[in-house]
Amino acid sequence: MGSVSNTLVENNNELNLLLSEASRYVSEAAQTGIAAHDVEKQVFDYVLKMGHQMLVTFFQLQGDGNLGETLTLSDGQKVKRLDARTRTYRSLLGDFRLNRYGYGVRDKQAVVCYPLDTRLQLPEEEHSYPVQELFHLLTTEVSYITAREILGKLLKINATVDSMERINQRCGEAVDAFRETLQMPDPAQEGELFVLTADGKGVPIRHAKDAARISDQQAKSGPRPDRKRMAVVGAAYTIKPFLRTPLDILEALFCEPDNALCQDKPKRPFPQNKQVVANLTRQTNDVELKASQLTFDWLAQQVKGRGENNPILELVQSGDSDPQPASTKIHLAMMDGQESLWNQVKQLKETYPERKWVEILDLMHANSYLWEAACAFHPGDNKQQLIFMKDRVLRVLSGDVMTVISGFRQMATKRRLNKTLQAVVVKVCRYFENNQHRMKYNEYLAAGYPIATGVIEGACRHYVKDRMERAGMRWTIKGAQAMLNMRSVNLNGNFDEFNQYRIQQQAKKLYPHANTIAAIGWPIAA
């Protein structure tokens, strides 16, 4: 015990020396006129050194976990002290080697309990939880290589790309279970309209190990197979109604930046409690899990938990003037024309037939088809294309979809379009006919419904593309899904909750005898 006390005194002396040295440096820097940024860097270096020394003292005070020759665990099992072993602990303040005793049934078998690890709740990985949180924050926004450079430059943390990827994957695997623990938003903070939407976004995938890369250089037209896998992104949010007219939308789509008509408009309400997820099709225990099914399973949970109104807040008047609670919000399913996604919506509607459902085709997607028609009828004439678009967009917004369809067919016949252009017109007309029941934009606008999927388009771009599709990036399915999971934690505002959840779950797994260790009088070194 005397040697430990001497070591602690030495540590305190070292800490005092560092503090004196830092104070002396600041005084001399002020006198000699050293630039503030240079002083800032040097002072921060002293802070790291002093923090490291304080952690050295902390670990030495904890000792080596020697609780005697034997230890009786909570299940009644009696284990004996084994030879001490060393583990690495990589913290924000530097690396440490912890020598501690383990307890087990017999030598050369797995250690049942490390008392010191249990008391300190050390992570399974070498890197501390605060360092892992930094990995999480950085790698979900920048590449692993860039994250490694930032950590090395600022904190002198020597992290490898492999270690960051491994930790990120382990964290990502915990996200699904974490989502199950989340409370649904407070109904008092929700809007009257519940919106669910989904879309697909490609993620570049690494070559299979047995695939010859020379085949990539073969001249081919169109997209190369197996280069991308489709991630299905889902979003759910509520919003307040916002009344508009077809002319309001037309003005927003076609006005110039300085157009006075575009000024002084009422501010649109913001989506409330927006939540997003993304899934890739993947194998789990030899079972293929489809991306769209996984995403819509999550959306179904959102519908179940958020589709009901708060009866205290939402009251409607019945015919006899007695207040009755409004049972559900209006559910807006809003997407592009991908039929597989609408089939999933159909299943949701069958699961919740009592809910009030409205299907809306994304206006921007409908407009892309109108542009195809404009280019077919006025090839190469940008001015006429714009005039054509303005007229047809207004008609569509006014609820005259069938008039637009019949007009296209008549124009195609009168103008005697060639086969290629006729095929374009046929495709546009068929698309509008198949989706006309989702294109009642005049009714949607009068009711204050949103009619464009800007939320999901933004999610696909920011959530997936901005991180997953940078130059040269290729992912494994497992690594890509982990990254999508971790990014959703950030985007949904659950960063702190998730990290606390993961620490608690890992502690339960790693330290089943925590109560036993906590009940023992710990021998703090003095």
> Does 437 lie in the same domain as 379?
yes
What average pLDDT does this structure show over 201-218?
66
What average pLDDT does this structure show over 397-423?
94
> Does 330 lie in the same domain as 242?
yes
pLDDT in tens, 71-103: 999 889 999 999 999 999 999 999 999 999 999
What average pLDDT does this structure show over 381-400?
96
* Model pLDDT, residue 2: 55
The label of the residue with tokens 């085949």 reads 215
Please answer whether residues 466 and 255 qualify as being in contact, where contact means their C-beta atoms are separated by less than 8 angstroms. no
Please answer whether residues 205 and 229 qualify as being in contact, where contact means their C-beta atoms are separated by less than 8 angstroms. yes
pLDDT in tens, 19-75: 999 999 999 999 999 999 999 999 999 999 999 999 999 999 999 999 999 999 988
Please answer whether residues 396 and 246 qualify as being in contact, where contact means their C-beta atoms are separated by less than 8 angstroms. no
> Does 410 lie in the same domain as 315?
no
Please answer whether residues 94 and 48 qualify as being in contact, where contact means their C-beta atoms are separated by less than 8 angstroms. yes
Tell me how many domains the chain contains: 3
Closest CA to 407 of 232, 394, 418: 394
| 519 in a structural domain | no
Please answer whether residues 490 and 275 qualify as being in contact, where contact means their C-beta atoms are separated by less than 8 angstroms. no
User: Please, which residues bridge with residue 165 across strands?
Assistant: none
Angle at CA of residue 353, ends 348 and 357, nearest 5°:
70
Tokens of residue 94, six digits: 């530097």
* Model pLDDT, residue 209: 55
Q: For residues 139 and 495, what is the distance between their CA atoms, to the nearest angstrom? A: 13
Phi, psi of 99, rounded to the nearest 5 degrees: -95, 120
| 126 in a structural domain | no
Lowest average pLDDT, out of 125-139, 151-165, 209-223, 241-255, goes to: 209-223
> Does 356 lie in the same domain as 334?
yes
Q: How far is CA 478 from CA 170, 232, 281, 462, in A?
A: 10, 15, 10, 20
The amino acid present at 137, given as its one-letter code, is L
pLDDT in tens, 135-180: 999 999 999 999 999 999 999 999 999 999 999 999 999 999 999 9
Q: For residues 248 and 300, what is the distance between their CA atoms, to the nearest angstrom? A: 33
pLDDT in tens, 459-501: 788 899 899 998 888 999 999 999 999 999 999 999 999 999 9
> Does 367 lie in the same domain as 350?
no
pLDDT in tens, 267-284: 889 999 999 999 999 988
> Does 460 lie in the same domain as 413?
no
* Model pLDDT, residue 315: 40
pTM for this entry = 0.86
Q: Which domain holds residue 47?
A: 1-62
Q: Where a domain ends, among 23, 41, 62? A: 62
Q: For residues 299 and 179, what is the distance between their CA atoms, to the nearest angstrom? A: 12
In terms of Cβ atoms closer than 10 Å to its own Cβ (0-12, 13-18, 19+), residue 346 is middle
* Model pLDDT, residue 313: 41
Percent of all residues in the chain with a pLDDT value above 70, rounded to a whole number: 90
Alpha helices in 307-397 (DSSP H): 339-351, 363-377, 382-397
Q: For residues 418 and 386, what is the distance between their CA atoms, to the nearest angstrom? A: 22
Please answer whether residues 236 and 274 qualify as being in contact, where contact means their C-beta atoms are separated by less than 8 angstroms. yes
> Does 292 lie in the same domain as 340?
yes
| 17 in a structural domain | yes
> Does 466 lie in the same domain as 352?
yes
Q: Where a domain ends, among 424, 451, 478? A: 451
Tokens of residue 364, six digits: 């921007």
| 108 in a structural domain | no
Alpha helices in 464-513 (DSSP H): 466-468, 477-491, 495-510
> Does 389 lie in the same domain as 315?
no
> Does 440 lie in the same domain as 415?
yes
- pLDDT higher at 257 or 524: 524
pLDDT in tens, 314-355: 444 344 444 444 557 899 999 998 999 999 999 999 999 999
